[in-house]
Amino acid sequence: MPASSSPVPFEAAPGAQPLYRQLAERYAQAIATGSLRPGMRLPSVRELCQRHGVSLTTALQALRHMESMGCAEVRERVGYFARVPGRVARLPAAREPEVHEPLAPDPNLFTGINERISVFLEKARRAGPDVLDLGSAMPAPSLFDAAALNRLAVRLLREQPDILVYGPSAPTTHPEFQRAMAHHAMEFGLHLAPADIGATHGNSEAVNLALDAVAQPGDVIAVESPTFFGILQAIEVRGLRALEIPCSPHTGISLEALELAARNEPRLKGVVVVPHLQMPLGSVMPDAHKQRLVALCMEHGLALIEDDIYREFVESPQTRRPLKAWDRPGDEGQVIYCASLSKSFAPGLRQGWMSAGRWQARVQMLKFARTRNMQTWSQLLAARSVDSPAYRRHLTRMRAQLREQREQAARAVARHFPVGTRLSLPPGGISLWLELPQGLSSSRLYDEALARGIRVAPGAMFSNTGRYEHFLRLSCGLPFTERVEEGYRVLGELLARQMDALSGGPGLLCA
Amino acid sequence: MPASSSPVPFEAAPGAQPLYRQLAERYAQAIATGSLRPGMRLPSVRELCQRHGVSLTTALQALRHMESMGCAEVRERVGYFARVPGRVARLPAAREPEVHEPLAPDPNLFTGINERISVFLEKARRAGPDVLDLGSAMPAPSLFDAAALNRLAVRLLREQPDILVYGPSAPTTHPEFQRAMAHHAMEFGLHLAPADIGATHGNSEAVNLALDAVAQPGDVIAVESPTFFGILQAIEVRGLRALEIPCSPHTGISLEALELAARNEPRLKGVVVVPHLQMPLGSVMPDAHKQRLVALCMEHGLALIEDDIYREFVESPQTRRPLKAWDRPGDEGQVIYCASLSKSFAPGLRQGWMSAGRWQARVQMLKFARTRNMQTWSQLLAARSVDSPAYRRHLTRMRAQLREQREQAARAVARHFPVGTRLSLPPGGISLWLELPQGLSSSRLYDEALARGIRVAPGAMFSNTGRYEHFLRLSCGLPFTERVEEGYRVLGELLARQMDALSGGPGLLCA
């Protein structure tokens, strides 16, 4: 996947540039002119602050921006070093997202996501089930092994004829599910006691319970920016405030920015991180970052809520080790691990699980108070599947198919979308994150596409900052049929009309 | 069921009596001596206040206590009238619970239920699955029609082979489930639009979502006293305060006390009521009370959260009409109706539903933010079952069997439990609520019984007031086998030892 690691040459943004870009450009020019030679150490964040009189965040953003331009590279725990930008990829790589200053959060940013999400979802609901879904980060049913699962289901009904009418009375996760998940977790380097595993209604309930356990209304929770809208929703509905932290498409959440926030925001109680295939950027945190993040949360007493729903979609098995693998064991743990089989195995079961470290007892209590036990049925189907060679074969097949679908989708974007569209091909997963040319609106595209029977996920769903209006998430969950190809063509056509409208061209007709 | 309607003669409690009892006794003596003749009108609540200088609550409690003693009877919308106590039932009827003053809530009452519940449940969990469960209000698996359900399950897997791997992406309840529940609801007098029905993870999630929708931390929610511990848990975990309102074993929540609370507690936002087979008292609200309760909530702008999980267990079909049947339709509704098929049809599916009146859109948003969609699988199994003649036959069978089990349980209590134990045989349901002789502790019984392999539900789980320590809920969900009979014998033996210990007898050995 050259596109994900290849940089693009620096392009000056129209109009006045943010400070960090000006700073980055200064250094990029120094490299271009030879004042800075490749391999030379660049100033540290603090040195940049002192030298140029900018804030820590601006300095950090400048370095990250240089990194995304290909003018700088990070060497873990040493610093940033100058480098010469490499060749241009087939499609320009996604830029580092613009980020806001984490030290001066605007309270207005903290509300409204739910209303926005509800409006988008209600429109989708009304459009009905026959829409071409290029919006949801969910593999198509054909990518799962339904036949094997159904055979297992029939066998389970025969073996345990009471399974659908038996109601467990104590707040327990089924021991067979606990053992199976503990065993499964060992495969990706996570060692948990079965008793520390609790079943949940999907990953969503796990993250929600984690937030319930660690924070009170008015508290602050740090999140990646942009991030999965479900996380922003969960934060908003319980009266918490989301603090969006810059996130790189290559290495995930900015540890420096998070540390600054931890030092300066007394009500910061925790952070929600998607370490594997961050949604929507697709970044996979390097192990060294994972380790530093866990240490940082321990040092500052922050709950580290690990949303690991996309782990099985990471292509390289070497990079699938969860944050929780670096945590202290059992009830000393600072990491609340949340996972689900909904994306990788059986979306129809809604079977999630979690292991909450020192919040485990509280999470169990909260779970019981809210939704009682999870079905024995879905727990046993999951337990008996996940530990089998057939499951591993299924994952291998699914990863290969999704890789093909991602590449086909990227090619379709290249064919049909306006010049200036940028994307990174992520190292796995079910979706692409696109940056459209400035001025285009993915919210408008959402409405126009839905009217043509196509659903997308507009950038505005992924942040409270309003900075992603010209970003777009596209699902690669569907096999690339002619209907899908036609969908991309229509999206491209709608975007072209927006471009025309911007430049006063014929597209004004559809404004 | 003579036991539920027959009164007991007044017995003076040991030690100083509460004011309401002294007042009730004064009137009882007036009837006994002929100063007040049967059929004469008793003073109204307000007249009692003026005449004796007591609070409204004390006056109300006095009248209710006289009613439970058999010295007074209510004529709807007219008042209380004197009567002569009738014959004594086989077992003394449960007394009106002692209630606290709803106008001066003690903030200390509002916390701690979760810790207490967690301790009880953790002990039960550790005791393992082989315990004789006389605690849970859940019918035994043998009372359900598992074979029919399993046949339907296999058919569904064949018909919709993708059902376990298909993940709906929009926040929707399955239209077939909505239609089936709307049709089902018509049978008990409730007319809902299918679109106003939302699927939930059991009744618990529905009640939790209702609380999320109507109240903010610090707000007050009125509940019946005693009440199902799950309701107290749900209130506590979100930082709300529970205001316990007196509840009669015959007519349910005291409307007078609720109205007083509505007038005096500005932060009162709603009330949770179990109109059918109130847990744990077993009362079924008369229709006239239901109607008045809905009107009262409309007048005061209180959300009326109707927890209707035991409706199908009410023996008389005439009394199964929900509160919501008196509500305004659609999004003008003041009643949030919550129900589930977990108790009556398939505990293993955890399939609940709700219809939230004017909070419907907010509830849908909250549901999606927390746990996303409910399985299509369980929705369709429920939808296709509930509308069939086989389902109605199943309910008829189950009600008959539960009636027999309740009567057998009551006889076992009479055989084995200490003299002075009181109970009401409720007009349906899965459990009995017992008042043990003063001084006995059901919390202690809980521990001692668990050590002997028997689980019960101690009174302390059902209130924050501490007034139910000598009360006990016993499940009648199990067919009355020799093992169950032996369980009752052991419980009786443990209670006898407690009695002995109280009087300094040989039971001290086991203290």
Q: pLDDT band at B168, cuts 50/70/90?
A: confident
Q: Note whether B315 and B450 are same-domain residues.
A: no
Give the mean pLDDT of B63-78: 76
| Residue B104, pLDDT score | 38
Higher pLDDT, B212 or A103: B212
Mean pLDDT of the B322-344 span: 96
B112-126: per-residue pLDDT in tens? 788 888 889 889 888
For all residues of chain A together, what is the average pLDDT? 87
**Higher-confidence residue: A105 or A169?**
A169
Q: Which of A98-107, A267-276, A380-389 has the lowest mean pLDDT?
A: A98-107
- A-B interface: how many C-beta pairs under 8 angstroms? 191
Q: Å from A210 to nearest chain B CA?
A: 11
Closest-CA residue of A relative to B237 is: A366
Q: What is the pLDDT of residue B33?
A: 55
Nearest-Cα distance to chain B for A117, in Å, is: 9
Q: Do B202 and A372 touch (CB under 8 A)?
A: yes
pLDDT band at residue B85 using 50, 70 and 90 as cut-offs: low
Contact A216 B239 (CB under 8 A): yes
What is the chain B residue with the closest CA to A154? B154
Contact A161 B169 (CB under 8 A): no
pLDDT computed for residue B371 by the predictor: 93
* Residue that is last in its domain, among A388, A416, A435: A388
pLDDT higher at A364 or A30? A364
**Residue at A238: amino acid letter:** R
Confidence of residue A37 (pLDDT cuts 50, 70, 90): low
Nearest CA in chain A to B373: A350
Between residues A114 and A103, the one the model is more confident about: A114
CATH of residue B358's domain is 3.40.640.10
In terms of C-beta density within 10 A (0-12 exposed, 13-18 middle, 19 or more buried), how is residue B511 classed? exposed
Chain A interface, best mutation among B118, B165, B176, by max A CB count within 10 A = B165
Determine the residue type at B64.
R
CATH number of residue B28's parent domain: 1.10.10.10
Set of chain A residues whose Cβ sits within 8 Å of the Cβ of B123: none
**Beta carbons of A138 and B230 less than 8 Å apart:** no
Q: Measure B119 CA to nearest chain A CA, in Å.
A: 10
Average pLDDT, chain B: 87
Band the pLDDT of A75: cuts 50, 70, 90.
confident
- Retrieve residue B357's tokens: 């009146």
Average the pLDDT over each of A36-45, B254-263, B332-341, B483-492 and give the range with the smallest value.
A36-45
Taking residues B162-176, report their average pLDDT: 87
Task: Give me the residue from B136, B166, B346 closest to A164, CB to CB.
Answer: B346
Instruction: Identify the pLDDT of residue A58.
Output: 81
Q: Average pLDDT for residues A378-402, to the nearest whole number?
A: 95
Report if residue B98 sits inside a domain. no
Q: What is the pLDDT of residue B346?
A: 96
Number of compact structural domains in chain A: 3
pLDDT higher than 70, residue A12: no
- Per-residue pLDDT for A320 more than 70? yes
Q: Is the ipTM of this complex over 0.85?
A: no
Q: Do A348 and B377 touch (CB under 8 A)?
A: yes
Same domain (yes/no): B234, B380:
yes
- Nearest by CB to A157, which of B153, B361, B368? B153
Q: What is the pLDDT of residue A33?
A: 55
Between CA A463 and CA A461 the distance in angstroms is 6
CA distance B25 to chain A (A): 41
Q: Do A234 and B370 touch (CB under 8 A)?
A: yes
Q: Which of B388, B417, B452 is the last residue of a domain?
A: B388
Distance CA B170, CA B244 (A): 39
**Interchain proximity A153–B171, CB inside 8 Å:** no
Least confident piece of the model among A18-32, A81-95, B190-204: A81-95
A40 with A169, same domain: the answer is no
Based on the domain organization, do A384 and A427 belong to the same domain?
no
Q: How confident is the model at residue A367 (pLDDT cuts 50, 70, 90)?
A: very high
- The tokens for A202 are 């999907």
Q: Do A230 and B141 touch (CB under 8 A)?
A: no
pLDDT, position B472? 97
What is the per-residue pLDDT for A319? Answer: 85
In a domain, A37, yes or no: yes
pLDDT at B107: 36
Same domain, B364 and B398: no
- For the cut 80, the answer to whether the pLDDT of residue A46 exceeds it is no
Which chain B residues touch A378 with a CB distance below 8 Å?
375
Alpha carbon B22 to its chain centroid, in Å, reads: 29
| CA-based nearest distance A40→chain B, Å | 48
CB pair distance less than 8 Å for B165 and A146: yes
For residues A81 and A126, membership in a common domain is answered with no
Helix (H, G, I), strand (E, B) or coil at A494: helix
> Is residue B285 included in any domain, yes or no?
yes
Q: Which residues of B touch A163 (CB under 8 A)?
A: 348
Tell if the CB–CB gap between B157 and A161 is shorter than 8 Å: no
pLDDT digits (tens, 9 = 90+) for A207-261: 999 999 999 999 999 999 999 999 999 999 989 999 999 999 999 999 999 999 9
Which CA distances in Å does A100 have to A18, A247, A442, A510? 11, 11, 21, 33
- pLDDT of the residue at B362: 92
A191 domain-assigned: yes
Could you tell me if B315 and B234 lie in one domain? Answer: yes
Between A161, A349, A374, which is nearest B146 by CB? A161
For residues B199 and B186, membership in a common domain is answered with yes
Residue A101 lies in a domain: no
pLDDT band at B41 (very low <50, low <70, confident <90, very high): confident
Whether B138 shows a pLDDT value over 50: the answer reads: yes
Residue A49: the pLDDT is 78
| CATH of residue B441 | 3.90.1150.10
Put simply, the answer to whether A141 touches B166 (Cβ < 8 Å) is yes
Q: Are A250 and A283 in contact (CB under 8 A)?
A: yes
Question: Residue range A42-53: average pLDDT?
Answer: 77
Question: Domain containing B343: what range?
Answer: 169-388
**pLDDT per residue over A125-147, tens digit each?**
888 889 999 999 999 999 999 99
- pLDDT reading at B167 higher than 90: no
What secondary structure letter does DSSP report for B135?
S
Q: Which residues of A touch B234 (CB under 8 A)?
A: 369-370
Q: Residue B204 is nearest to which of A164, A236, A370, comparing CB atoms?
A: A370
- For A365, residues 6+ apart whose C-beta sits below 8 A from its C-beta are A171, B114, B117, B118, B233, B237
**Does A197 lie in the same domain as A115?**
no
Return the pLDDT at B76.
63
Q: In this structure, are A115 and A70 located in the same domain? A: no
Task: Give φ, ψ of B41 to 5 degrees.
Answer: -75, 135
Q: What is d(CA A315, CA A406) in angstroms, rounded to the nearest whole number? A: 12
Q: Are residues B230 and B256 in the same domain?
A: yes
Tell whether B101 is covered by a domain: no
Confidence of residue B58 (pLDDT cuts 50, 70, 90): confident
Among A118, A171, A361, beta carbon nearest to B365: A118
Predicted pLDDT at A503: 85
| B41 vs A185: which has the higher pLDDT | A185
* pLDDT score of B511 more than 70: no
Nearest to A232 by CA among A103, A108, A356, A110: A110
Give residue A106's pLDDT: 40
A141 contacts B202? CB cut-off 8 A: no
Contact B371 A350 (CB under 8 A): yes
Check A169 against B376: CB less than 8 A apart: no
Comparison of pLDDT for B103 and A47, the residue scoring more: A47
Asked whether residue A100 is domain-assigned, the answer is: no
Whether B150 is in a domain gets the answer no
Based on the domain organization, do B397 and B384 belong to the same domain? Answer: no
